[in-house]
Amino acid sequence: MVTLVAATTVDPASIGLGLPFWPCPGMLSFANEEVRLLKLENHLAREDHLDKRWEGATGESVDGAIFLSRHVAASNRPALTIHPIGPPHLREDEVLLAGGRPGWAGPPKALEQHCRVTLEATHHGPEISSPAMFIEIGSTEEYWERQDAAQAIALLVWEGLGLGGGNSVGDWSRKDDRPKVLLGIGGGHYVPRHMDIVRLQSKGVAGMWRKVINIAFETSRLAFPGGEVLAHLDLESFKTWRRKAVTEFLESEEIKIGKPGDFY
């Protein structure tokens, strides 16, 4: 099983993030232990089924994918962001703005100053079967090409995948103590209250009315087979009637609701 790390030439932040992994300039691909770095020429949000295409071309099974990308925000605030993939909030008849498939979310990939470090709610493609995430530099061209930001994220990926000689992060298939997995509901694009819990105590974090929650819950269970998925509600982002509706739905689906203290 291999993990794909994908960069693209059409995105200056993506290539900047990929450079620390290449041993010399001009090299188009790189293999290190069970990690494969790919240099692509398309927008990453359009690289549907990259895992299956890699398996078909090489015979290597893919157990996860990390997409290296730029981040754009109206605030222009410097940021390093991580989010799972998929637009589960879209109906099947709605137009896709950035890849994926309406009403679908991929299983999240487990990993974990001047720049704000934050999670984002899941919101775009590509469509991919393997656990995956986007890691991004934001939010303007000035920062997309910053090598210090690229080096910081490259080190995160390097250590997280176990390339530095230590254990890799995110193998939930062998968990015996049922650690908690946070399923964030509500809170806006940057999910600040969910992020507060992640900052205080590192736990498995999964993605973001009825169909959307079910999709997020099922993909989270697939991604964290040894973990206990608990829904975490950003209560301040809901009106009372909405909070009641979401809570009743979670109870009807037997999805447990976690309080902040449950994740510490």
CATH architecture of 180-263: 3-Layer(aba) Sandwich (3.40)
pLDDT for 180: 83
pTM of the shown model? 0.56
Instruction: Specify burial of residue 30 (Cβ count, 10 A radius: 0-12, 13-18, 19+).
Output: middle
pLDDT for 257: 92
Question: Helix 240-252 crosses helix 210-223 at what angle (to 10 degrees)?
Answer: 50
Delimiting residues of CATH 3.40.50.10700 domain(s) in the chain: 180-263
List, for residues 108-158, the tens digit of each pLDDT value: 665 435 556 787 887 777 888 888 888 888 777 877 777 777 777 777 787
Strand pairing category for 116-119 and 180-185: unpaired
pLDDT for 171: 63
Stretch among 8-17, 64-73, 169-178, 191-200 having the lowest mean pLDDT: 169-178
Instruction: Specify burial of residue 96 (Cβ count, 10 A radius: 0-12, 13-18, 19+).
Output: middle
Query: What does each C-alpha distance from 32 to 44, 67, 204, 246 come to in angstroms?
Result: 22, 17, 26, 45
List, for residues 206-242, the tens digit of each pLDDT value: 544 677 788 889 888 888 888 899 999 988 877 787 7
Measured distance CA(220)–CA(67) in Å, rounded: 19
Q: Is 181 helix (H, G, I), strand (E, B) or coil?
A: strand
List, for residues 52-94, the tens digit of each pLDDT value: 988 988 888 998 898 888 766 777 777 777 777 777 767 777 7
Strand pairing category for 29-32 and 35-40: antiparallel
List, for residues 22-31, the tens digit of each pLDDT value: 443 433 557 7
Written as six digits, the tokens of 74 are 């109206």
pLDDT for 132: 87
Distance of CA 200 to the CA centre of its chain: 19
pLDDT for 26: 39
Q: Is 231 helix (H, G, I), strand (E, B) or coil?
A: strand
Pair 82, 134: CB distance under 8 Å: yes
Measured distance CA(108)–CA(139) in Å, rounded: 23
* Residue keyed to tokens 């973001």: 208
Measured distance CA(50)–CA(40) in Å, rounded: 11
pLDDT for 29: 58
pLDDT at 166 over 60: yes
pLDDT for 16: 61
Nearest Cα neighbor of 184 from 117, 116, 118, 113 is 118
pLDDT at 173 over 70: no
Q: How many helices (H) and strands (E) does the chain have?
A: 7, 10
Distance of CA 91 to the CA centre of its chain: 21
Written as six digits, the tokens of 22 are 């290449």
The CATH class given to the 2-160 domain equals alpha beta
Residue type, 187: G
Delimiting residues of CATH 3.40.630.50 domain(s) in the chain: 2-160
Per DSSP, helices labelled H in the chain are 12-18, 50-58, 141-144, 147-160, 192-200, 210-223, 240-252
The count of residues in the chain is: 264
